[in-house]
Amino acid sequence: MNTITVFLQAHGRGELIEVLLGSTASARELLEVLAAAAIEVDKDTHIFIGEADEPLSKELAEILRDVKDGTRIHVTRCRHVATTVNYLEHSEEHRFPPGRRVRAVKEWAVRKFKIDPKDAAEHVLQLCNSTSRPSSDTTLQELTDNYTCSVCFDLVPEKRVEG
């Protein structure tokens, strides 16, 4: 059997866990790998493959699709992450899957606020009420505490030029 390396990102754990998974693994085999990695899965847990919009089916015999070498598998209690983006005096909300990356949120916000691409290139997402600017490849799951399935961003200029 051919194996691939996948990375588990689980609720309550900050680190990525590297594991081997059969290239034609079923949902049942994935659950066995999760158990071996001491990742608890219960009725309130959702498993997302990469940036998938929907969680993995509860059908244990189902063969995993869209899993390739290097894929992140997200194990979380958050089926969606309620995301708010503030820009100037405007605010918009959207629900994203937990595996979606900050770059996708910014792209959505740029379209929603109808920001010129040149201006958008000079802006970044910053967590509300902070100075933290997560990198564009950070997943939304990493920004939640797994019980509050929401995150808030301000779309702000990357640099302030004064003078």
DSSP, residue by residue, 99-133: T-BHHHHHHHHHHHHT--HHHHTTEEEEETTS---
DSSP assigned state of 158: S
Q: For residue range 5-34, list pLDDT tens digits in order.
A: 999 999 877 789 999 999 889 999 999 999
Task: Say what the pLDDT of residue 57 is.
Answer: 86
Provide the CATH number for the domain around residue 63.
3.10.20.90
Q: For residue range 109-152, list pLDDT tens digits in order.
A: 999 999 999 999 999 999 999 999 999 999 999 999 878 899 99
On the question of pLDDT at 64 being above 90, the answer is no
- For the entire predicted model, the pTM comes to 0.87
Residues 72 and 86 occupy one common structural domain: no
Rounded Cα–Cα distance for residues 139 and 74 (Å): 10
What is the layout of strands, in order, in the sheet containing 81-87? 90-96, 81-87, 150-157, 123-127
Residues 134 and 90 occupy one common structural domain: yes
Rounded Cα–Cα distance for residues 15 and 37 (Å): 12
Residue 148 lies in a domain: yes
Residues 109 and 153 occupy one common structural domain: yes
